[in-house]
Amino acid sequence: AVDLGTPSVPRPRRRCRQIMVGGVPVGGDAPVSVQSMTTTVTADVDATLRQIAELTAAGCQIVRVAVPSQDDADALAAIARRSRIPVVADIHFQPRYVFAAIDAGCAAVRVNPGNIRKFDDKVGEIARAAGAAGVPIRIGVNAGSLDPRLLRKHGRATPEALVESALWECSLFEEHGFRELKISVKHHDPQVTVAAYRLLARRCDYPLHLGVTEAGPLLQGTVKSAVAFGLLLAEGIGDTVRVSLSAPPVEEVKVGIGILESLGLRGRRLEIVSCPSCGRAQVDVYTLADRVAAALDGFPHPLRVAVMGCVVNGPGEAREADLGVAAGNGKGQIFVRGEVVRTVPESRIVETLVEEALRLAGDFPDG
């Protein structure tokens, strides 16, 4: 295991430069942004734009698209023009696609130093083109594609190796006076990821893009990302996040937003406070909580809704909620701000909660 040091306590945000990814500031005092990556073939412009629209609706602020072929590079202009959020071109292997992405109007370009052939020779040209277009570059180092020279030197993808790779590439850009950079140093192991970002945070003042790469399926990837991002963000490290999941990218956005909300880094909208159920439960709490969450999905104000399986402890446990239900005996006691306001048959619990939520909407300052 990697030494994670002393337990983290919330600390002020790490001071770093700010870059603009299209209209989204990253770093400095900008709020931590959430991003994701499309899974469509980028050359399929309509499918890619449809997925970008879904991601945008879910709260994604920056989207990345893969550019593995000339057809994909050719599609970038239409995608960048029609996307409502900034589009980042993800380039491996081919420096010429970097120029294509800049010409196409992409908001940023991600390069993986370990994967760009003859990258070092091209840095001057890339720096000039990106600088002239006002396009920042992400140096995205991945454990799985670390520069072979560093792999030989360090024996494996250690935090030091990841950071050395990133800072080496940054220094090449700096030689050409280009500093519109952000960095990621991703590893599939959250402990190595945390150690790498901590080291990187101490050694540069560039904004940092957090990610645990190949984090796994939905549950495992969520846990790994929440642990790594939670530790780092609580220490003030991290300016934009991408959760990598073997799941539809909308899930990545939901998890990223959820992590930021849990850390108090952005205001929560809907929060369902549901009990885990136990032998006292008089309703199927899991199903009821899912139905309430679905019915109130997209509610435009911060709302904490309690779903409790019994009347014994329910209302007391949920006193902090704006609204809630404690089920029992085929009925639901509906309570608003801790007071029981009515009792309805179990079949009407969900619609009654929605009615009460709409009534409460008028009380919010932006209601």
Nearer to ligand SF4, 23 or 316 (CB): 316
Nearer to ligand SF4, 57 or 278 (CB): 278
Query: Cα separation of 110 and 134, whole Å?
Result: 14
Nearer to ligand SF4, 249 or 314 (CB): 314
Minimum Å gap between C-beta 283 and ligand SF4 is: 8
Minimum Å gap between C-beta 316 and ligand SF4 is: 9
Minimum Å gap between C-beta 307 and ligand SF4 is: 9
Nearer to ligand SF4, 106 or 285 (CB): 285
The answer to whether the annotation marks 310 as part of a ligand binding site is yes
Interface residues with ligand SF4 (CB under 6 A) are: 275-278, 280-281, 308-310, 312-314, 317
Q: 214 — alpha (psi -120 to 50), left (phi > 0) or beta?
A: left
Query: Cα separation of 115 and 36, whole Å?
Result: 21
The answer to whether the annotation marks 275 as part of a ligand binding site is yes
The answer to whether the annotation marks 60 as part of a ligand binding site is no
Q: In this structure, is the dihedral angle defined by the CA atoms of residues 31, 102, 115 and 70, taken in order, positive or negative?
A: positive
Minimum Å gap between C-beta 270 and ligand SF4 is: 20
Residue type, 323: L
Nearer to ligand SF4, 267 or 279 (CB): 279
Nearer to ligand SF4, 278 or 340 (CB): 278
Query: Cα separation of 76 and 63, whole Å?
Result: 12
Q: What is the dihedral of CA 223, 58, 109, 69, to 10 degrees?
A: 90
209 closest CA partner among 189, 180, 181: 181
Minimum Å gap between C-beta 145 and ligand SF4 is: 47
Q: What is the DSSP string of 66-77?
A: E--SHHHHHHHH
Burial label, 155 (beta-carbon count in 10 A; 0-12, 13-18, 19+): exposed
The answer to whether the annotation marks 317 as part of a ligand binding site is yes
How big is the chain, counted in residues? Answer: 367
Hey, what are 207's tokens? 């904004």
Query: Cα separation of 207 and 200, whole Å?
Result: 10
Contact 243, 273 (CB under 8 A): no
Minimum Å gap between C-beta 279 and ligand SF4 is: 7
Annotated binding site for [4Fe-4S] cluster: 275, 278, 310, 317
Annotated binding site: 275, 278, 310, 317
